[in-house]
Amino acid sequence: MTSVPNGGWDERILVVRCGQLVDVFIIVTERYLVLVDTLVNEATAEAMLSVAAPHLAGRRLLVVNTHSHYDHAWGNQLFAGPLARHPAPVIGTRRCAELLGSPEAQAFLKEMRERRPEAFDGVRITPPDLLFDERLIIRGGDLTLELFLTPGHAPDHVAIWIPEIRTLLAGDSAESPFPFVESAATLPHRAEPPARRAPPRRAGAGFHTRPP
């Protein structure tokens, strides 16, 4: 787990890189410290939290799941559920919670445990516990986080628009060298004009720095 040097974005946004897999964000507002995703297991979520910890004093911890994929939400157990060691609201779409609670998610976890038991044996798939359907606003005092549904990469995917600094955290909707889509059924969402889904932006950032 490494911190990515600031590349010119607002200093209240921290970027953390989990090996060669994914980048995630920490947003520091007056009221809240917001972790955007929880990575692949409890250990990686804990490592992300340790990067955020110096900014926690005087702020409430919030967690956002951008979508249900394993590299974004399998660390939720650190924050939610009866055995959570750092209890905090975990925000996600209702669809995200459904997908994480599905038999297919458990089947995929079984497969991942067989492939890499050292990484996944301790995972308890834990859905978000503060749910919304299409839009949710977090009023952080100095910054407003507007979460809105952006299906395409995944049916439950959300992006985050921060109007005060005109920054869009596009998540896996913006990958390099090109966006990944889960199925052909999601392609119409990709074709929809961006102006209909999100405000114009000055800066944007995605999660995957290379194809998954």
Q: What is the pLDDT of residues 168-201, one digit of tens each?
A: 999 887 654 445 455 555 555 544 544 444 444 4
**CA-based end-to-end distance of the chain:** 17
By C-alpha distance, which of 40, 108, 45 is closest to 70?
A: 40
Structure confidence by residue, pLDDT tens digits, 151-162:
877 899 999 999
Output the six-digit token pair for 157: 């995917």
Side chain identity, residue 181: V
- Domains of the chain with bracketed CATH: 2-206 (3.60.15.10)
For position 194, what pLDDT does the model report? 43
Question: pLDDT tens for residues 32-66?
Answer: 999 999 999 999 999 999 999 999 999 999 999 99
List 139's β-bridge partners, or say none: 144
Helices (H), the chain: 42-52, 70-73, 94-100, 103-115, 117-120, 187-191
